[in-house]
Amino acid sequence: LQTRMQSLQPDPKAQYRSVYEALKKIVLTEGFWRPLRGINVTMLGAGPAHAMYFACYEKMKKSLSDTIQHGGNSHLANGIAGSVATLLHDAVMNPAEVVKQRMQMFNSPYKSVLVCIRTVQKMEGFGAFYRSYTTQLTMNVPFQAIHFITYEFMQEQINPRREYNPRSHIVSGAVAGAVAAAATTPLDVCKTLLNTQENMALSSVNISGHLSGMVNAFKTVYQLGGISGYFRGVQARVIYQMPSTAIAWSVYEFFKYFLTKHKLEKRT
Question: Tens-of-pLDDT digits for all 268 residues of the chain?
Answer: 555 555 656 655 556 567 667 667 656 665 654 555 556 666 676 778 888 888 899 899 888 888 887 767 788 999 999 999 998 888 888 888 888 878 777 666 677 778 888 888 888 888 888 887 887 788 789 999 999 999 999 999 999 998 999 999 999 999 999 999 998 898 888 888 887 777 667 777 777 667 877 788 888 889 888 898 888 888 888 998 999 999 999 999 998 898 888 777 777 6
Domain hosting 8: range is 1-196
Among the listed residues 89, 77, 84, the one whose alpha carbon sits nearest the alpha carbon of residue 149: 77
* 15 lies in some domain: yes
Q: Where are the beta strands (DSSP E) in the chain?
A: none
- Count of domains forming the chain: 2
In whole angstroms, what is the distance from residue 193 CA to residue 210 CA? 11
Give the number of other Cβ atoms within 10 Å of residue 99's Cβ.
23
The domain boundary residue, chosen from 196, 226, 249: 196
Do both 143 and 243 map to the same domain? no
Residue 228 lies in a domain: no
DSSP 18: S
**CA–CA gap between residue 224 and residue 266 (Å, rounded):** 61
Task: Give Cβ neighbours of residue 248 (< 8 Å, ≥ 6 apart).
Answer: 50, 173
pTM above 0.75, yes or no: no
Is residue 243 located within the same domain as residue 167? Answer: no
Whether 55 and 188 map to the same domain: the answer is: yes
